[in-house]
Amino acid sequence: AQSVTQPDIHITVSEGASLELRCNYSYGATPYLFWYVQSPGQGLQLLLKYFSGDTLVQGIKGFEAEFKRSQSSFNLRKPSVHWSDAAEYFCAVGPMEYGNKLVFGAGTILRVKS
Amino acid sequence: GAVVSQHPSWVICKSGTSVKIECRSLDFQATTMFWYRQFPKQSLMLMATSNEGSKATYEQGVEKDKFLINHASLTLSTLTVTSAHPEDSSFYICSAPRAAHKSTEAFFGQGTRLTVV
């Protein structure tokens, strides 16, 4: 079965601290992996994606993610969090051949304290 | 700028009425679009795949007569919530895949918050 697990529902970090959001997936085929960010009342913005090649991918806003096939993980990281990063983050996986029939994780709400 | 536009951003309607939500790809053609629904404090769940020129494909458990999907052109898909009830209140969001170098990327609309009173 296809699934994405984001074990942390809420995470609170201090501004300037590092961040790691966890994502594990279960997928029968070669996965396309994505991280999206959703601000309150807004749609989804793509932070980064992984299809193949270098397992450490760089995204927008200073985010990066590392694909670890052996652990079926695709964790999102940022070295120094800014208050504007407070939002909800979704990890998603999709099939190569369709491109976009995505399965989403439940999301992680990030709170940033000053 | 946005490449997928969704309209309206929010709508309030009375029980029993129907509401139409539009999803447009702005600078590319999309033969396929996807409609998702997000319940409060939950993730997005795929409702259906909208196919230009053919019937939509609905996910298990989604009522096709309740959620009518029409892919009118290569740049427009509409979702009509028929005979809306308060339990249909939700955040609806569409996405359209656009081919990029060696991959296909999903672009999402800004979403529509539907409140049925």
Cα Dmax for chain A: 44
Looking at chain A, which residue has its C-alpha nearest residue B101?
A: A51
Q: Does B112 touch chain A (CB under 8 A)?
A: no
The rounded distance, in Å, linking the Cα atoms of A48 and A36 is: 7
CB pairs A-B closer than 8 Å: 60
Contact B106 A99 (CB under 8 A): yes
pLDDT in tens, A82-93: 999 999 999 999
On chain B, the residues whose CB falls within 8 A of the CB of A106 are 42-43
Nearest by CB to residue B104, choosing from A36, A41, A99, is A99
**Is residue A97 pLDDT above 50, yes or no?**
no
Contact B37, B54 (CB under 8 A): no
**pLDDT tens by residue, chain B, 117 residues:** 668 999 999 999 999 999 999 999 998 999 999 999 988 777 889 999 999 989 999 999 999 999 999 998 999 999 999 999 999 999 999 999 887 666 667 888 989 999 999
Residue A28 or A47, more confident? A47
The CA R_g of chain A, rounded to the nearest whole Å, is 13
**Is residue A50 pLDDT above 50, yes or no?**
yes
pLDDT in tens, B31-61: 999 999 988 777 889 999 999 989 999 999 9
What pairing do the DSSP bridges indicate for beta strands B112-116 and B10-13? parallel
Determine which helix (DSSP H) or strand (DSSP E) holds B116, and give its type and residue range: strand B112-116
